[in-house]
Structure 1
Amino acid sequence: MVFKRLLGSLGVGGPTVDTVLDPGPVLPGGGLSGQVHLNGGDSDFDIEHITLDLVARVEAEHDGGESEGVVAFDRFTVGGGFRLAADEVRSVPFTVTLPWETPISELYGQSLGIVLGVRTELSVAGAKDKGDLDQLTVGPLPVQEAILEALGQLDFGFKSADLEYGRIGGTGQQLPFYQEIELTAAPRYAQQLNEIELTFLANPGGMEVVLEADKRGGFFSEGHDALTRFTVSHDGVAHQDWNAIVDGWIRQLVEPRTSHGSHSAYGHGGPHAGSHGGPYGHGHDDHHHGGRRSGPGMGTAVAAGAAGLAVGVVGGMVAAEVVDEVGDFFEGDEEEEEG
C-alpha cells in the first residue's frame, strides 16, 4: 500500500516522495529492498536526509486499562546530501536489514492481523516531514514455520496474534515489545490447558521460544500459568522431528514440576528431542501465577478483529475484518498527517 505525500512543512510546490517496497514478504533478520521515488517541486531543494522508520502497532496495558499506539523499532538513513532540482525525478534504491525480532505478520500467505509499516521521512533544508507510509509484510523464518506447522499438526488452533509493549524477563529480548501468538489447546490437552501463548525471540545464532500455558485447576488446586523457554538453532531445521520436539515442550508445560510456585527459578533438564539433541532441547521452566512479563504489556490482549478466531495454524483462514483493519490503519495515518 503506497501513499504519496506532499511535504507539508514546505507548503505547496515542495517535493513529493513515494517509497515502493520490492514485492513479497521479507524475513526477520533479512534484507528489505525498494526505491524511494522523489519528484522535484517548483524550485530546487537540498535533500539532507532520507530516513526509513520501521513501525508497528503495539498494545500496552496500564493503570487506566489498555491502549494501542505506533512504536518505531528501527531507523535507517538511506540517502541524502544532494540537491533535487525543480521538477526533477530521481529514484534512490535501498537495502536495509530487518531486526531479528521483527514480528511475523503473515503465515502461508494469510495475514495474522499484525500491523507493520515502513515510514519515509525527508529532511529538506532543515524541515522534516514523514512523507510516506507503506505496509510491511514479514513471513516466518524456517525454524519458526516448522514450529508453527508442528503445532498445527498437533491440533492446536490459531486464535489471535498481537504485539505487547514490555519485556519478557530472563530472555535476551532486544525490542521494546514482543509478539504473542495465542493458540487454543489441542483436544488431547484440553483437560489440562485452556490455551497457550507462543513468543519467538530470534537472534543471529538461533532463537528463544517462550511458551506460556494457561493451566486448568483441579479439585484441590487453582488454575495457574506455566512458563517454559527453549533455545533452538537456525541450522538443521529440515532434519528434525518437530512434531515430537514441540509435543515434548507441551508435555513439559502440563506435567507437574518440583519448581511449581517459583516466580524466577529457571531449571535445566528440558526435553532433548531431535536427532541433534542439544540445539533443540535446552529448556527453562517457571511455574507461577501471572509473573511472566515485566513492565507494561502483561496479560493476553487480543488483537482487534481476530478475537474468537479458532482455526488451525496450518492453512488457517484469517477473518476478513483483520485484513480490512490493516488497511484502515494506513488510511487513518494518511488522514491524520494530511489533516
Structure 2
Amino acid sequence: MVFKRLLGSLGVGGPTVDTVLVPGPTAPGGTLSGQVHLKGGSGDFDIEHITMELVARVEAEHEDGEDHGVVVFDQFVVGGGFRLVQGAEHSVPFTVTLPWETPVTELYGQGLGIVLGVRTELSVAGAKDKGDLDQLTVGPLPVQEAILEAFGQLGFGFKSADLEYGRIGGTGQQLPFYQELELTPAPQYAHAVNEIEVTFLATPGGMEVVLEADKRGGPFSGGHDAVTRFTVSHDGVHHQDWNTLVDGWVRQLVEHTSSYADHAPYDSGHGHNHGHDYSHGEHHSGSHERSGPGMGTVVAAGAAGLAVGVVGGMVAAEVVDEVGDFFEGDDEDEGGED
C-alpha cells in the first residue's frame, strides 16, 4: 500500500505491484495475510514468481565501529505461473506464518522504534526486481506481554529497544539477530544495576527469557554484565503470578551478579550465566554469551512504566518511510546474514 512504484529494470510500461496487508498487528509465530495487487503494463508479461521477504533493520558491530544493516529473516513464494496481459489487474491473496522469534515492534499500541518490513518481489520472465515495501507491525505474545507488564508493575521503566546482529550462545536462537528490550531499574534495584536487558526467544512449545544486568561499579571496582536464562510455557498465562515470578528472576540475577563480583574481581566481561526452566519445574545451568553487540535505538520512552508512549525520535511509520530507500539499496548487507 506504500512505496508502490514502477519496476525499474522492466522499463517504462512494466507491471506494478502493490501489497496490501490485513490491518492491525500480528504476533510472533502468527499469520500474516493480505493481497498482492498487480497491474499490467504496456505489454504482456509472464509472472514466474511472487516472493515476499521479511526484512529487519539491525545493528552490527565491526572493527570500525557500529552500523545499521538490513537482514532478510524469512522468505515465501506466494504466487506465480501466470501471464499478466497488457493493462490487466490481478490480485493474489496470501497467508504466511511468521517466525516465532519475529521481533515485537509495538507494546500497548505504542511503537518501540523497531523497523520491520515486508518486501514483495516479482520474477518476470527470468528477471527479478523489487516491487513493494510495507511496514510490518508485530505485537507481543500473551506470555511476553505478561512478563513485560510484571516488570512495569514492579517499577521498571522502558528505556529503548533494538535488534542486534549476532547470536546468544547456549540458547535455541534461530534468527541471525535478537531483540533487546532495555529497562531502567526499579527503585529497589537501582543501587545494584544500571539497567536490565530482556530478550525473548519464542518457540512453538514455550519461550526462553534471557535477562542481562548491567551492574553498577563501586568506588574500587568496575561494573560488569551478568546473564541469566529462564524458560516459560505459553500455557496458563492467566493463572501465573507473574509479578512474584519476575521479581524472583531479578533477585537471582542481582544475587548472581554480586556473587560473581565477589569471586571474580578480574571479570573478563563475559558475564555469569544460569539457566532455569519454569515450564517443567526443572533447574539447569549453562554458559552462554551474547555475540555481536550494538548500540541502542534513537527512540526513547519515559520511565513511568512500560505502557508509556514514544516521547523522542521518530514514530515507526516515519522511520520506515525514511529508510525505504535504504531497504531497497542495501543488498550487500543482506548477503552477509549467514
1:87 equivalent in alignment to 2:84 = no
Letter in 2 for 1:301: M
Q: Equivalences for 1:100-139 in 2 at 5 Å?
A: 100-139=100-139
Q: 8 Å contact 2:7–2:131 — kept in the other structure? A: yes
Question: Shift in Å at residue 218 of structure 1?
Answer: 3.3
Distance, in Å, in 1 between the alignment partners of 2:2 and 2:284 is 43
Is 2:133–2:324's contact at 8 Å kept on the other side of the alignment?
Answer: yes
Mapped partners of 2:321, 2:271: distance in 1:
41
Q: 1:318 corresponds to which residue? A: 310
> What's 2:321 paired with?
327
Moved more, 312-321 or 50-59: 312-321
Q: Is the CA contact (8 Å cut-off) linking 1:19 and 1:120 kept in structure 2?
A: yes
**Alignment partner, residue 9 of structure 1:** 9
Q: Secondary structure at the match of 2:173?
A: coil
What are the equivalent positions in structure 2 for 1:1-339 lying under 5 Å apart? 2-218=2-218, 221-256=221-256, 261=264, 267=274, 270=276, 278-279=279-280, 282=283, 284=285, 292-294=289-291, 297-298=292-293, 301-304=295-298, 306-307=299-300, 309-319=301-311, 321-323=313-315, 324-330=318-324, 333=327
Q: How far apart, in 2, do the equivalents of 1:32 and 1:280 lie?
A: 34
1:282 is displaced (CA, Å) by 4.7
- Are the equivalent residues in 2 in contact too, given 1:58–1:71 (CA < 8 A)? yes
**What amino acid is the match of 2:306?**
V
Call closer, same or farther: CA 1:283–1:220 in 2, change over 3 Å.
farther
Deviations for 1:136-187, whole angstroms, at most 9, x for unmatched residues?
A: 0000000000000000111111000000000001100000000010011111
RMSD across aligned C-alpha pairs, in angstroms?
2.4
**AA at the equivalent of 1:319:** V
SS at match of 2:314: helix
Q: 1:333 to 1:99 in 2, by over 3 A?
A: closer
Aligned residues: 322
Specify the code of the residue in structure 2 equivalent to 1:327.
D
Deviation at 1:334, TM superposition (A): 6.7
Tell me the secondary structure at the aligned position of residue 310 of structure 2: coil
Cross-structure match for 2:335:
none
Per-residue CA distance 1:64-101 (angstroms, 9 max, x = gap): 00000111000000000000111110100000000000
What is the CA-CA distance between 1:9 and the residue it aligns to?
1.2
Cα deviation digits, residues 258-292 of structure 1 (max 9, x gap): 66649588556x5x8xxxx6447756476xxxx83
* TM-score, normalised by the number of residues in structure 2: 0.89
Structure 1 residues 242 and 258: alpha-carbon distance in aligned structure 2, compared to 1, 3 A threshold: same
Q: Which amino acid aligns with 1:105?
A: T
Q: Give a deviation string over 1:113-140, Cα, whole Å, max 9, x none.
A: 0000000000001111100000000000
Given the superposition, is the C-alpha separation of residues 179 and 133 from structure 1 closer, same or farther in structure 2, using an over 3 Å criterion?
Answer: same
Q: CA deviation at 1:317?
A: 1.1
Aligned identity (percent) is 70
User: What SS does the aligned partner of 1:90 have?
Assistant: strand
CA deviation after TM superposition for structure 1 residue 221, in Å: 3.8
Q: Matched residue of 1:208: which SS?
A: strand
Change (3 A) 1:336 1:243: closer
SS at match of 1:198: strand
Amino acid at match of 1:314: L
Question: How does the TM-score come out when normalised to structure 1?
Answer: 0.88
Q: What residue ranges of structure 2 are gaps of 5+ in the alignment? A: 332-338
How far apart are the structure 2 equivalents of 1:280 and 1:70? 39
Residue 244 of structure 2 aligns to a residue whose secondary structure is helix
Mapped partners of 1:243, 1:230: distance in 2: 15
Change (3 A) 1:336 1:28: closer
Distance 1:320 1:30, change over 3 A: same
Name structure 1 gaps, 5 residues minimum. Answer: none
Deviation (angstroms), 1:217: 2.6
The offset of 1:204, in angstroms, is: 0.6
